[in-house]
Amino acid sequence: MGPNGAGKTTTISMLATLLKPTSGEASVNGFNIKTQKDNVRKSIGIVFQDPSLDEELTAYENMDFHGRLYRIPRVIRTEKIKELLKLVELNERKNDLVKKFSGGMRRRLEIARGLMHEPKALFLDEPTLGLDPQTRNHIWEYIQRLSKEKNVTIILTTHYMEEADKLCDRVAIIDKGKIIALNTPRNLKDGIGGDLITVETPDAESLRSRIEEFPWFKSSKQHDSFITVNVVDAEKHVAKIAKISCDSDIEIKSITVHKPTLEDVFLHFTGRTIREEEAGSGEHIRMVHRARKRR
């Protein structure tokens, strides 16, 4: 999990043997990604970030072509196609051209195709990017079913916090090419410590210094005009923070209380929100583009 440009797709590309690592070691299903590429490729399925289906073929033909590439015998191939298309609820559309499919249907077909040769690991590179919320939820359901019914290790990249929280047994947060946190979603959130109180105030530094003096205070992060305070039993301390600000003549614009999320985890480890990181990456891309145009 991480913002655009953090290195998620690069990591997937190296593990799938599409990109040569500059250093370090990695293995997939016990096979070294640099010295045993063929065995790695036989062990994995992959759904790319960009569409990779042939739009002029039917759903069945796309599946059949993939099965032939992996030299799956015809009888087994036919059964697998039927089973997988049923799994992703596309069996009744198997003879329709892919160009008639919606974005969600294409994603489901790509996931089914990636399972044709029964891989030990399935890589999904931002599988719900650009999909509407309803379709995204349907894809989540299929991914969860695949993990349970097919006993496949699924490795997905995402910058959607709720997606990582809902689907993953373990989450690695990657920032600027480095893994900065790795654990279960629950442990990552619990690791921040307690509940969170977020206060918006024009005098954030002063309020923060006063709150830190109290014994119930655990930790805090200041971000622009917002202070996020970690405490136990946050509801009991909201009134205390309001009183501290009143006694110190510090204006409070808003106070919110919530349980930690993975967004809070990212902020805790990086000092930035994932949205800011993505906005920064986008601005960098625009600046490079403008520079190229000037040349």
Q: Clarify whether residues 94 and 143 are in a common domain.
A: yes
What is the number of domains present in the chain? 2
Evaluate whether residue 279 is within a structural domain: no
Task: Give the residue, 120 or 278, on which the prediction is more confident.
Answer: 120
Q: Clarify whether residues 201 and 97 are in a common domain.
A: no
Place of tokens 């808003």: 254
Q: What is the mean predicted confidence (pLDDT) over 258-265?
A: 84
Q: How many CB atoms lie within 10 A of CB 108?
A: 24
Residue 68 has pLDDT above 90, yes or no: yes
What pLDDT is attached to residue 192? 77
- pTM equals 0.72
Evaluate whether residue 3 is within a structural domain: no
- Taking the C-alpha atoms of residue 66 and residue 60, their distance in angstroms, rounded to an integer, is 10
Three-state SS letters, the chain = CCCCCCCHHHHHHHHCCCCCCCCCCCEECCEECCCCHHHHHHHEEEECCCCCCCCCCEHHHHHHHHHHHCCCCHHHHHHHHHHHHHHCCCHHHCCCEHHHCCHHHHHHHHHHHHCCCCCCEEEEECCCCCCCHHHHHHHHHHHHHHHHHCCCEEEEECCCHHHHHHHCCCEEEEECCEEEEEECHHHHHHHHCCEEEEEECCCHHHHHHHHCCCCCEEEEEEECCEEEEEECCHHHHHHHHHHHHHHCCCCCCEEEEECCCHHHHHHHHHCCCHHHHHHHHHHHHHHHHHHHHHC
What pLDDT is attached to residue 277? 57
Residue 273 has pLDDT above 70, yes or no: no
Q: Clarify whether residues 130 and 222 are in a common domain.
A: no
What pLDDT is attached to residue 269? 81
Q: Clarify whether residues 215 and 97 are in a common domain.
A: no
- Average pLDDT value for the chain: 85
Q: Clarify whether residues 212 and 173 are in a common domain.
A: no
- Tell me, what CATH number does 55's domain have? 3.40.50.300
Q: What is the mean predicted confidence (pLDDT) over 216-242?
A: 80
Evaluate whether residue 22 is within a structural domain: yes
Q: Clarify whether residues 173 and 64 are in a common domain.
A: yes
- Taking the C-alpha atoms of residue 148 and residue 144, their distance in angstroms, rounded to an integer, is 6
Q: Clarify whether residues 82 and 205 are in a common domain.
A: no
Write out the residue range of the structural domain in which residue 48 sits.
8-184
Residue 283's pLDDT band (cuts 50, 70, 90): very low
Give the closest residue to 210 by CA, choosing from 256, 254, 243. Answer: 243
Give me 291's structure tokens.
């520079």
Evaluate whether residue 270 is within a structural domain: no
Evaluate whether residue 145 is within a structural domain: yes
Evaluate whether residue 289 is within a structural domain: no
Q: Clarify whether residues 81 and 60 are in a common domain.
A: yes
Residue 274's pLDDT band (cuts 50, 70, 90): low
Give the range with max mean pLDDT: 136-140, 153-157, 187-191, 283-287: 153-157
Query: Tens digit of pLDDT for each residue in 175-215?
Result: 888 898 999 998 998 887 677 888 999 888 888 888 888 87
Query: Tens digit of pLDDT for each residue in 43-56?
Result: 999 988 888 899 99
Q: Clarify whether residues 228 and 169 are in a common domain.
A: no
Residue 115's pLDDT band (cuts 50, 70, 90): confident
Q: What is the mean predicted confidence (pLDDT) over 215-244?
A: 81
Q: Clarify whether residues 141 and 244 are in a common domain.
A: no
Q: Clarify whether residues 30 and 157 are in a common domain.
A: yes
Evaluate whether residue 2 is within a structural domain: no
